[in-house]
Chain A
Amino acid sequence: MDLKTIKKRSDYEWGIEPSGKMTVPVIIYADESLIKAMDEKVRQQAVNVACLPGIVKASYAMPDAHWGYGFPIGGVAAFDPDKGGVVSAGGVGFDIACGVRTITTGLSIDDIEPVKEQLADLLAHKIPAGLGSRGKLSLNIKQMDEVLVGGARWAVEHGYGTKEDLLRVEEHGAVAGAKPDCVSDHAKKRQEEEVGTLGSGNHYMEVQKVVEIYDEKTAGAFNIAVGQITVSIHCGSRGLGHQIGTEYLKKMAAAAGECGIELPERELACAPINSRVGQEYLGAMRAGINCALANRQLLTHLLRGVFADMFPKAELKLLYDVSHNTCKEELHSVNGQRKRLFIHRKGATRSFGPGDPSLPAELRDIGQPVLIGGTMGTASYILVGTSESMSLSFGSSCHGAGRNMSRTEATRRWHGRDVVRGLAEQGILIRSPSFRGVAEEAPGAYKDVSEVVEAAHQAKLSRKVARLVPIICVKG
């Protein structure tokens, strides 16, 4: 991004004042080198979002922002329903509630190291991953509707987890207001055999080792220490979410025209929150969130099965589960007033600070765990939400490393076989059905996750707690 097109507000905050059809400024949180490396399209897309009706305060971009479609990936925007605010299917994306959960195991690296190959093979065997894989459950439409309302709660009620797990999931396992009736039979049909599957692309299940702690007190509250093993799962709402996104994008493209909303690009298709299409989308999108929460809960159940077989002393406890692609109804302070707003986070993590009533009792004084997935060769981070983030970004932070290169370019630069061999030499085992898939996800195709996390930390969007490195990565 050309530094002349954006104003430096501080070392970690950059702004574009409103002009033309923008009603609010753009604010990007990043250091100078991340800003320079950011695609010009991020600026354009964040500016387009600043033109949407009813947007409040600013169109935000997180430090990992990159060129998306409609919204930038790493985009955050709040809309006021009382001021004609909109909900946008493009502002949530096709993989509704794609997210990360991290699980502590109570094991140390010494427990894992001698049986690493065996563990990698067993995980690859037991976790349905990649195109054409089928889940262990096949649900009829009635059962599917129960999942779409019940989310991870449904999974726990059916024996796939514990009540304690639910306290560690956003919305305690299920978001309210899901309307299965607003989800088409096509979307449900697409999900029939995909419940409890990992997916592909950048989705993974990763066994990790904690290598550094930045904040002992918070790490203690999160039950993590150096040398310990954690497992992280990155996946979303699978075919159901993809189909909801596809269908409502089309409906909203038509609805926007009917409501006289001028779209800077079609992918920003949206409808007023207080409109029939807007309400139907919210009902369907929430069903998609619950589908993703159930999915990650079912994968956790499979993971627990593998660990129970191999490590009888292991105790797999959910640290937290965060969703990246959502629109959520939340209360926020704007100009001293509490307002009910609809917060779009497109490739951004909720990052609620201490004291938030939605946090479980044991984390209420600490803040929400913010889980940042890195690449299969670098690192992931655990951060904690800050009080400052509530006023800086409606309680949001970055979500990952963020790509800095296209998939096309990545496959030109690297061969999957070499990537897998190189990582094995560093002690990282990759299990994937496709070498080309590995090349597309090569660590070099991403921004430096440490730089992204440092920028989020310095900007006070969230605070660093721990760094984790991959040991085993199962990809779809």
Chain B
Amino acid sequence: MKGRTNRKRWEHFPHEADIGIRGAGATKEQAFEQAAIALTAVITEPGKVAPEQKIEVTCQAGDDELLLADWLNSLLYEMDTRKMLFSRFEVRIEGNHLNGTAWGEKIDVSKHTPTTEVKAATYAELNVRQERDGSWIAQCIVDV
């Protein structure tokens, strides 16, 4: 399962019990945004989710990797409590702070046919790195 536009892309990678999500982009912020799309893609096809309603999240963590886990877990919290799914993301990172915006809509079971809930973004295979070509990767295993 993959999505690609220029250098921006996301994919899933296998884990025996759960599932790995990976985002890539020209910047760290893009990689975080793509990882969020990969998260949504565990649940439903991101293309089925209309970016109608906007929400904001902020996170703070000791390093890039914990920040990624926090970002994804904040989105899971918003999904759960607002009963929403998100398909468009914008991330701004300054030091250890992340300000994120997500656009989505209320869950509609007949439209989105959600495969599964995601319980949490884990610290397993948690990695944020810059590749030799300058592009960024952000990934982890999510517990489903």
Our pick among A134, A242, A266 for the contact of B126 (Cβ within 8 Å) is: A266
- CB neighbours of A206 from chain B (8 A): none
A404 touches B16 (CB 8 A): yes
Residue-wise, chain B 71-103 has the 8 Å CB interface mask toward A (1 for contact) of 001001100110100000000000000000000
In the bound assembly, the distance between CA atoms of A374 and B76 in angstroms comes to: 28
Min C-beta distance of A415 to chain B, whole Å? 13
Q: How large is the interface on A (under 10, 10 to 19, 20 to 34, 35 or more residues)?
A: 35 or more
B141 touches A69 (CB 8 A): yes
B107 touches A434 (CB 8 A): no
Min C-beta distance of B73 to chain A, whole Å? 5
- CB neighbours of B14 from chain A (8 A): 406-409
A69 touches B122 (CB 8 A): yes
The answer to whether A159 has its CB under 8 Å from any CB of chain B is no
A405 touches B113 (CB 8 A): no
Tell whether A94 pairs with B143 under 8 Å between CB atoms, given A243-B77, A433-B113, A434-B113: yes
B144 touches A242 (CB 8 A): no
In the bound assembly, the distance between CA atoms of A190 and B61 in angstroms comes to: 21
Tell whether A433 pairs with B120 under 8 Å between CB atoms, given A250-B66, A406-B15: no
In the bound assembly, the distance between CA atoms of A186 and B61 in angstroms comes to: 17
The answer to whether A399 has its CB under 8 Å from any CB of chain B is no
The answer to whether B33 has its CB under 8 Å from any CB of chain A is no
B116 touches A406 (CB 8 A): no
- CB neighbours of B123 from chain A (8 A): 69-70, 90, 249, 253, 265-267, 269
Tell whether A254 pairs with B62 under 8 Å between CB atoms, given A69-B122, A131-B107, A404-B16: yes
Tell whether A408 pairs with B1 under 8 Å between CB atoms, given A190-B80, A243-B77, A267-B124: yes
Our pick among B12, B43, B120 for the contact of A94 (Cβ within 8 Å) is: B120
B62 touches A407 (CB 8 A): no
The answer to whether A367 has its CB under 8 Å from any CB of chain B is no
In the bound assembly, the distance between CA atoms of A193 and B83 in angstroms comes to: 10
Residue in A closest to B17 when the chains form the complex, CB atoms: A403
Residue-wise, chain B 121-133 has the 8 Å CB interface mask toward A (1 for contact) of 1111010000000
Which of A310-318, A385-393, A435-443, A460-468 is the interface stretch?
A435-443
Tell whether A250 pairs with B116 under 8 Å between CB atoms, given A67-B15, A407-B144: no
Our pick among B62, B69, B114 for the contact of A433 (Cβ within 8 Å) is: B114
Residues A359-417 near B (CB distance < 8 A): 403-409
Which of B69, B81, B119, B126 counts the most chain A CB atoms within 10 A? B119
Residue-wise, chain A 253-269 has the 8 Å CB interface mask toward B (1 for contact) of 11000000000011101
Our pick among B18, B112, B114, B126 for the contact of A200 (Cβ within 8 Å) is: B114
Interface size on B, residues (CB 8 A): 40
- CB neighbours of A194 from chain B (8 A): 80
Residue in A closest to B45 when the chains form the complex, CB atoms: A436
In the bound assembly, the distance between CA atoms of A405 and B124 in angstroms comes to: 18
A440 touches B70 (CB 8 A): no
Min C-beta distance of A26 to chain B, whole Å? 18
The answer to whether A476 has its CB under 8 Å from any CB of chain B is yes
The answer to whether B19 has its CB under 8 Å from any CB of chain A is yes
Min C-beta distance of A126 to chain B, whole Å? 16
B16 touches A250 (CB 8 A): no
- CB neighbours of B16 from chain A (8 A): 39, 41, 66-67, 403-406
Residue in A closest to B121 when the chains form the complex, CB atoms: A246
B117 touches A246 (CB 8 A): no
A436 touches B115 (CB 8 A): yes
Tell whether A69 pairs with B143 under 8 Å between CB atoms, given A131-B43, A253-B123, A404-B16: yes
In the bound assembly, the distance between CA atoms of A461 and B18 in angstroms comes to: 27
Between A and B, 28 residue pairs with Cβ closer than 8 Å are: A69-B18, A69-B122, A69-B124, A70-B123, A73-B17, A94-B119, A94-B120, A94-B143, A131-B43, A132-B107, A132-B109, A201-B116, A201-B117, A239-B81, A242-B119, A243-B77, A245-B119, A246-B76, A253-B66, A267-B123, A403-B16, A406-B16, A406-B19, A408-B13, A408-B14, A433-B109, A433-B113, A433-B114
Q: A95-B119, A190-B81, A404-B16 are in contact. List 14 more A-B contacts (CB 8 A).
A: A66-B16, A94-B119, A94-B143, A130-B117, A200-B117, A201-B119, A250-B61, A265-B123, A403-B16, A406-B14, A406-B15, A407-B18, A433-B109, A434-B116
Closest 4 CB pairs of A and B: A69-B124, A132-B107, A406-B14, A131-B114
